[in-house]
Amino acid sequence: MSKDDGDALGSWWEEKRQIIQPSEFLLSGSGKVMISMYSNGPIGRMDPEESLSLVRYLNEQRAKAKAAQ
């Protein structure tokens, strides 16, 4: 990734090592950023199982809201 790539994503760029810091996004089906996570160290990353649980929960809530209409 280049600095331009990082800038396009709104990510943190580390000048010292010339790298983009981890930037993770959970997107909706339409491409809307639902959740973002930025980290400048080895912790604070999205956990796949927790992310899947969140997606399932959000889908359930959306289905309940549609059914209530």
Query: pLDDT tens digits for the chain (69 residues)?
Result: 889 988 888 888 888 999 888 888 898 889 998 888 888 777 778 889 999 999 999 999 999 999 999
Q: Could you tell me the two tokens for 4?
A: 């331009």
26 CB-side CA count, 13 A: 16
Residue 64: domain span: 3-68
**Number of structural domains in the chain:** 1
pTM above 0.85, yes or no: no
**Rounded-to-5 percentages of helix, strand, coil across the chain:** 40, 20, 40
Q: Could you tell me the two tokens for 28?
A: 């909706």
Q: Which pLDDT does position 11 carry in this prediction?
A: 86
Q: Which pLDDT does position 56 carry in this prediction?
A: 95
